[in-house]
Each structure stands twice: as structure tokens, then as C-alpha cells.
Copies of this chain bind each other. A is one copy, B any other.
Amino acid sequence: MGERMQIGEVAERTGLSLRTIRYYEEVGLVVPSARSQGGFRLYTEPDVERLQLIKRMKPLGFQLDAMRDLLAILDPTPDSPEIDDPEQRLVEFSDTAEQACADLRKKLGIAEEFAAMLRDHLDSPERRSANRK
């Protein structure tokens, strides 16, 4: 039941680095539910889910303190900060998220264009050296 794992296993399961996980604690995003006698971080299943949630948020480009607020609404914990007017805040987050998606789509467009251009440049110089023979 209270399956507690230490940071290494969590890192493996989430794909986050040890440093990142500790950092998220440092800034109050995910605080491990317990510590061992010797001071090892002990994480529970919900802790891991929370980290995975954060990982899924990252492509949206939120800053960590924004994520802290969003988590306080979506997945509150005892030591989550109080958010005033969470309803309102959620609307803002949603708007930001839509905007982030739009930005990503635009970026992807530009990136694909650029990648195509690179493929072009890859062909033409080869043809030049073929012609040289």
C-alpha cells in the first residue's frame, strides 16, 4: 500500500533528472510525502502522478510559479498556497494554454519550413560536386 520509493526510482519512472526533482521541491512544486531516517526523500504514487502532471504541463511553457498555482487548483495538497478566485484564475490559465498551443503551431510551421530548406541545401551542393566530374 504505502509504496514509498526514493528519488532514483521516481526519476526513472518520470524521466526527470534527480536535480530537476529536487529543484521542484526547492521551489515548492512537489514536496516528497516523507523522508527516511537518514534524510532520503520518500515519494508516494500521488507524488509521482504530480510530477507527471508537471511534465505534461511543460510544453505549454508555463513558468514554475504559475504551475504551482495551477497545481494548487487542479490537485491541491495540504501545503498548497491559497488561490483567490480560482475560477477566474483557471480561465486565465486556459487562455494562456490556448495561446501557447497557437504559438507552438506557429513555431512548428516555421521549423518545418526551415527543415525543408535544409533538405534543399543538402541536395543542391551534392549535385554541384556530381556535375564537377
Contacts and interface: CB of A to CB of B under 8 A. Distances in A.
Given A97-B118, A104-B107, A105-B108, A56 B113 contact: yes
Interface stretch (A1-9, A12-20, A39-47, A88-96): A88-96
Contacts of A98: 115
A114 interface: yes
Interface of A: 56-57, 59-60, 74, 87, 90-91, 93-94, 97-98, 100-101, 104-105, 107-108, 110-115, 118-119, 121-122, 125-126
Contacts of A90: 118, 121-122, 125
Contact of A60 (B57, B97, B114): B114
B87 A111 contact: no
Given A91-B122, A119-B94, A125-B87, A112 B101 contact: yes
Given A91-B122, A125-B87, A59 B114 contact: yes
Contacts of A97: 111, 114-115, 118
